[in-house]
Amino acid sequence: MIPFEFIVDGPPVSQQTRNRTRLLAWKNIVKSAAEVYWPSGDSPSDQRLKISITYYYDSTSPDVDNIIKPIQDSLIGLVYIDDEQIVDTSCSKRDINGSFKVRGLSPVLAKGFSQDNEFLFIKVEEATNLEEVPR
């Protein structure tokens, strides 16, 4: 069911880690977290999609570009058929101890903030305006 959003307790594991066992475990954590929110019995999307990832961290954080790929890979076969369907990606990190102005707070994001620890908020939605060239 697209749009789809979920949270994962952080911290994320970087694609650059040398510990492949830790990376595989992280991918399983992401997939398990997504399965909690994915409607039972729904098939993966076959649409072109965009993914947005925000990491609300407490102390230190890996580079944002290194946390994207493991998350995308984790959702293959559940949220979408293949990660080649992802045509737009955004990733950001925010200090969870900062002040935020949130408009249209979703219940999923509210749950992340209510847990009082670092987390990732991930949203997958249909890619629109594909005929426009990104600036």
pTM summary value? 0.91
**What would the mean pLDDT of 78-103 be, rounded to a whole number?**
92
Phi then psi for residue 17, to 5 deg, are -60, 145
For residues 29 and 19, what is the distance between their CA atoms, to the nearest angstrom? 16
Q: Residue 93: helix, strand or coil by DSSP?
A: strand
**What would the mean pLDDT of 76-80 be, rounded to a whole number?**
97
Burial of 118 (0-12, 13-18, 19+ CB in 10 A): buried
* DSSP 8-state secondary structure symbol assigned to residue 134: P
pLDDT of residue 112: 93
- Please, what is the average pLDDT of the chain? 91
CATH class assigned to 4-126: alpha beta
pLDDT of residue 61: 73
Query: Which of 33, 44, 27, 25 minimizes the C-alpha distance to 108?
Result: 33
Residue 6 CA neighbour count, 13 Å, CB half: 22
82 pLDDT higher than 70: yes
